[in-house]
Amino acid sequence: MWRRRGRRPPPVQRLSQWRGLGPLQPLDFLNAAAASGREWLGRTSPRPAVGAVVVRDGQIIGQSATAPGTGPHAEAQALEQAGALARGADLYTTLEPCRHHGQTPPCTEAIVAAGIGRCFYAYPDPNPAATGGAHELAAAGVETARVAGCDAAFDGLKGYLHHTRTGRPWVIAKWAMSLDGRVALPAGQRGYLSSPQSLSLVHRRRAEVDAIVVGSGTVLADDPRLTVRAGIAVNRQPLRVVLDGRARLPADAAMLGMPGKTICFVGAAAPPERCAALVESGCFVQIQDDPPRADPNAVLQRLGAMGVQSALLEGGPTTIGSFLAAQLINEIEVFLCPVLVGDPASPVALRGLPEGFLSPGLELLESGTVGPDLWLRARPRGSIDWDGETQPERTGA
């Protein structure tokens, strides 16, 4: 709109340009907004799990998150809570307010109508259909600034931001291992290495993502259900994805009887009768013109095209190793369990890495104990190449 008129839009200021604000106050309110959005992470997809708060005289007078389905956005709900007190107040939101007509009216219209004086947001929206809300607010007289450095906001939006920019889901690799580096109990023993508390955290992670990815070896060894349990309420089960080049997934696998969908990536040379049996059992079969082992990049591109914004990689050592070697893992969660397996036949944490492979260094994000287990959350350095300051071209790579 501004370029067609030959004018530049009003500038969207950075926080350093504001006066009268303590350096931590905006981040405090953005963290509160991010906490609201995080509660709904995984249930609003494909819409981002945005959180928003309305602040007047240093007090939160409205706080909400984007509703699941086609419900109202976070900003609209927070403004409704604040009511008439929103006039002249500040709005803090984890994502730049939208300006387009979609399933709900534009948030920018609601913000202007409510009389908000200042709007702070953590991340610009990379969606071409939605971006530009900050400039629209500035043009309407609402002072607007981006507050950089809100890690909590990124955690709630990372799947949406990454998928919108790259076309691929944000991939979180998860595994548990013993002190001697084994990821399974000795042959013949069934059970879990990790504690019940760690298993509950894994179910929370499942509830937050769009898909769970495993290899056929994991299915044949454990026959997992790959569902969200542990008493966590969800409005849908994540998509179950099996990388199964030879179509070895049993037609009576436990996951095929669970709520939700299962998709199996098989190679072009997979036996047709096996593929037919899987389809008969309710599995969606995706045939790839690749070698027997599924290509991680092709799988992620296909999942991204299906609208999958985030995926939890729960595969075994070979599957995780192949994604790591392809540098397609964005985040890692490891549970180090205080046990010694001792069986040399038990698999180690990672396999299939090329000789001489050295992954990028890891940035430790969080660490602590979950029950008796040590828990680490890390991110490969360089896995985030966007700070929200620029809008790189979306690529198919």
**Catalytic residue ranges:** 75
Instruction: Tell me the two tokens of residue 86.
Output: 């929103």
Instruction: Tell me the two tokens of residue 388.
Output: 């929200």
As a whole number of angstroms, the distance between CA 86 and CA 251 comes to 57
Amino acid at 324: L
Instruction: Tell me the two tokens of residue 276.
Output: 């037919």
Q: Which residues contact 104 (CB under 8 A, 6 or more apart)?
A: 70, 71, 72, 73, 76
The rounded Cα 299 to chain-centroid distance in angstroms is 17
C-alpha radius of gyration, the chain, whole number: 23
Q: Which residues contact 77 (CB under 8 A, 6 or more apart)?
A: 52, 62, 64, 65, 67
Asked if 267 and 245 touch (Cβ cutoff 8 Å), the reply is: yes
- For residue 68, cis peptide bond before it (omega within 30 degrees of 0): no
Number of Cβ within 10 Å of residue 191's Cβ equals: 7
Q: Which residues contact 74 (CB under 8 A, 6 or more apart)?
A: 33, 36, 37, 50, 51, 52, 64, 65, 66, 93, 94
* Cβ neighbourhood burial of 340 (10 Å; 0-12, 13-18, 19+): exposed
As a whole number of angstroms, the distance between CA 33 and CA 153 comes to 8
Asked if 74 and 65 touch (Cβ cutoff 8 Å), the reply is: yes
Instruction: Tell me the two tokens of residue 79.
Output: 């403004």
Instruction: Tell me the two tokens of residue 265.
Output: 């990536």
CA-CA-CA-CA dihedral for 113, 390, 55, 42, to nearest 10: 90
Asked if 306 and 211 touch (Cβ cutoff 8 Å), the reply is: no
Angular region, 181: left φ>0, alpha ψ -120 to 50, beta rest: left
Asked if 9 and 139 touch (Cβ cutoff 8 Å), the reply is: yes
